[in-house]
Structure 1
């Protein structure tokens, strides 16, 4: 019997998008073949929907509605708007690597400031010789689509033993309205490195755009790394980011994510603790209002013994916002002496706000210490009354309680300057709410 897969309107739109974009996507013949294979995977799977367990709370078929055309390479006007956005969002002292509408912008980046401690290539140049960065095996349609359509990204390598004195900030800037961008980056961190990597997603006048980003990170033995992601896209944008992190032995990795923008956002992280004696601290904050939908899906794979993981996530949801947290810890049969804990809390500021929390443990070893928890509730009325009774307006009293609620996650950022920078983002969100 012949079986034909019926395509939805979204499916047809993406097929047309790939056909029109294939001729201008970078890559050698082997890369083009890898792209076609990835797109065939996407066509077989289609856009994720609620009948897929990992996507049950974030139905892209219903939430996205349509697939937008690929953004053109930025012109001089777009680069000027991007330069203004860099000034507004760059972290003081950081070494900036800027992507504008999915294309690396060398003139806006601090390439020379990287010095001998780090080397930089672009994905576009790398794909002219090798298809390896597109060969992430996955049955996830969004990741396959990223491999098929990735236009550019940064390929960053930090040398063994490097002690970076300043953060490296990768800034994704959208300037073109009603378009989509597909970026893929690789960060290879050597042995014994001490480094801070910051990713920022911002808009420079663009509206109703879509972002599909992928990041591949490897951390060498003995490294001490902070990885901070700040997502502040336009209120009507869509942002889906997939992260693949492989951690070596005796590593300290501190990951933090904050979402304060986009109509629909999803961060899906896949972290493998592949070396003994490593410690992972994964933390995040979703600040959502109106009808914003923010999804954090994190899988931590304890593949070897004697590793520690801690996950602390907070969500503050106002109006008809919807926050999702899906946390999964896997402990492999040989991963004895694993210590894994996960806690997520949601603060609902309106009767229509929604939070879905789904922590999971899959344990195949018998000598472990693992646990998880999830809570959801409103502001404490007695504390609110206490603050109001001392003369604070209601919104200001709420803001103080909200800051205390998200503070446990933000306080995990070790760098004082970066922690204050993130607190400032949260304060501005509270001001917009007021």
Structure 2
């Protein structure tokens, strides 16, 4: 029988994590009760480990050991450092919403610049409102995952964004998570409601202020997309090299929606993005792409479950991993086709490029099909750079590292090229190029 360990790696009782933070967590008495229940669920389960099928390649008990205590609210000095990080990572033309060490920073955000069709609030304000009997619902999910239960128990803040029906937003919405405190954890949970017949781009960025390191991030995003919407969702994870980032996403897609999702991981010692996407309306199209660029001993995990709950939907998944040194990349992709989801068209392909004999890639594509009139498929490959192509480039005078860089850019290009916006695509290409420069 698997039980949660009674002590953390530092000898601190697991229950102390919640007890020491409870007084700083926003919420009415009913919300605090829901938090306690969620933390008790986490205590029973403990950090996920390799005996759990969904976590067999990312054993947090071995990789992380313990959860760091809740970060303090940022002071003036922390906000100043965060402002520099925001300046460096802000997307030109985007409307920013900034979270610093898990707390919304209004002075660093562009709340007043949003279009009238967009309303912005904070999770903290809603949870603290004792007149709202449904506030605790914002901490609920259908998952029994331990890290999600921990997020529900400890979430200090997040953004709550609603885009009105019919809105056509020219400026992207960028949510920037900034870490300024070493040896601490930030817990955030954001809710985004995208109305019917809207067009919107949402960008999430995870960064560190200056040389901040040794922190943990536990983030959750609940995204609801109305019928006939056109949504681009870009996630850029560039946390400190010794940080831990676990993000859980729950996405519900209406009818006739076009959703283009892209994730790039270029930082953190340990990271996991777990996404649960439900195609709940007919005629929708999902394009999910991702790139892991990993080096040294980094561990990057992308786990994606696409649930075709209704007929006549299309999903395409393209993931690429470039792994150097002793890094480890994981891709777990599952397509579920429900009994009534006839005419489903779902395909996924993952490829890993190993730049070192010690690099490791685990690819696990899965299909669960309960309907008979479908077209589904998956594939996975792993290998090294093509020696003949490398020789060809070197024979024409290119140094080996530069020749490798050209081949790596071509390898990840198929996933990056799926980003429709030219400016965002160039921004992502720039991130990949800087990673290649650091490698050389």
TM-score, normalised on structure 2? Answer: 0.97
Aligned to 2:358: 352
Report how far residue 55 of structure 1 moved. Answer: 0.3
Q: Deviations over 1:359-388 (max 9, x none)?
A: 000000000000000000000000000000
1:308 aligns with 2:303: no
Worse-matched range after superposition: 342-351 or 65-74: 65-74
Aligned to 2:191: 186
1:131 aligns with 2:136: yes
Aligned to 2:270: 264
CA distance in 2, matches of 1:419, 1:153: 27
CA distance in 2, matches of 1:257, 1:352: 25
After superposition, the Cα gap between the structure-2 partners of 1:23 and 1:349, relative to the gap in structure 1 and judged at 3 Å, is same
Structure 2 unaligned regions, length at least 5: 130-134
Q: Deviations over 1:146-182 (max 9, x none)?
A: 0000000000000000000110000000000111010
Aligned to 1:143: 148
1:71 aligns with 2:32: no
Aligned to 1:164: 169
CA distance in 1, matches of 2:378, 2:7: 38
Contact 1:94-1:166 within 8 A present in 2 as well = yes
CA distance in 1, matches of 2:33, 2:115: 35
Aligned to 2:85: 85
CA distance in 1, matches of 2:214, 2:53: 27
Aligned to 1:325: 331
- Alignment equivalent of 1:289, drawn from 285, 295, 299: 295
Contact 2:201-2:232 within 8 A present in 1 as well = yes
CA distance in 2, matches of 1:113, 1:133: 26
Report how far residue 8 of structure 1 moved. Answer: 4.4
After superposition, the Cα gap between the structure-2 partners of 1:5 and 1:178, relative to the gap in structure 1 and judged at 3 Å, is closer
Contact 2:71-2:181 within 8 A present in 1 as well = yes
Aligned to 1:9: 8
SS in 2 for 1:125: helix
CA distance in 1, matches of 2:7, 2:388: 51
Aligned length: 432
SS in 2 for 1:131: helix
Q: Deviations over 1:13-66 (max 9, x none)?
A: 432110110111000111001101101111111110000000000000000022
- Alignment equivalent of 2:245, drawn from 239, 245, 248: 239
Contact 1:243-1:268 within 8 A present in 2 as well = yes
- Alignment equivalent of 1:228, drawn from 227, 234, 239: 234
Q: Deviations over 1:278-328 (max 9, x none)?
A: 000000000000000000000000000000000000000000000000000
CA distance in 1, matches of 2:76, 2:23: 23
Q: Which runs of structure 1 show a deviation greater than 2 angstroms over 4 or more consecutive aligned residues?
A: 3-14
Report how far residue 9 of structure 1 moved. Answer: 2.6
Structure 1 unaligned regions, length at least 5: none
- Alignment equivalent of 2:421, drawn from 415, 418, 428: 415
TM-score, normalised on structure 1? Answer: 0.98
SS in 2 for 1:80: helix
Report how far residue 5 of structure 1 moved. Answer: 6.5
1:36 aligns with 2:30: no
SS in 2 for 1:350: coil
Worse-matched range after superposition: 26-35 or 240-249: 26-35
Report how far residue 4 of structure 1 moved. Answer: 8.8
SS in 2 for 1:40: helix
Aligned to 2:180: 175
How does 1:92-131 map onto structure 2 within 5 Å?
92-129=92-129, 130-131=135-136
Aligned to 2:158: 153
Contact 1:13-1:66 within 8 A present in 2 as well = no
CA distance in 2, matches of 1:299, 1:118: 29
Contact 1:13-1:67 within 8 A present in 2 as well = no
Worse-matched range after superposition: 133-142 or 398-407: 133-142
After superposition, the Cα gap between the structure-2 partners of 1:386 and 1:112, relative to the gap in structure 1 and judged at 3 Å, is same
CA distance in 1, matches of 2:208, 2:13: 24
Report how far residue 6 of structure 1 moved. Answer: 5.3
SS in 1 for 2:31: helix
- Alignment equivalent of 1:213, drawn from 200, 219, 233: 219
Worse-matched range after superposition: 273-282 or 6-15: 6-15
Contact 2:167-2:199 within 8 A present in 1 as well = yes
SS in 2 for 1:222: coil
CA distance in 1, matches of 2:63, 2:319: 24
CA distance in 1, matches of 2:231, 2:64: 34
SS in 2 for 1:412: coil
After superposition, the Cα gap between the structure-2 partners of 1:362 and 1:86, relative to the gap in structure 1 and judged at 3 Å, is same
Contact 2:4-2:47 within 8 A present in 1 as well = no
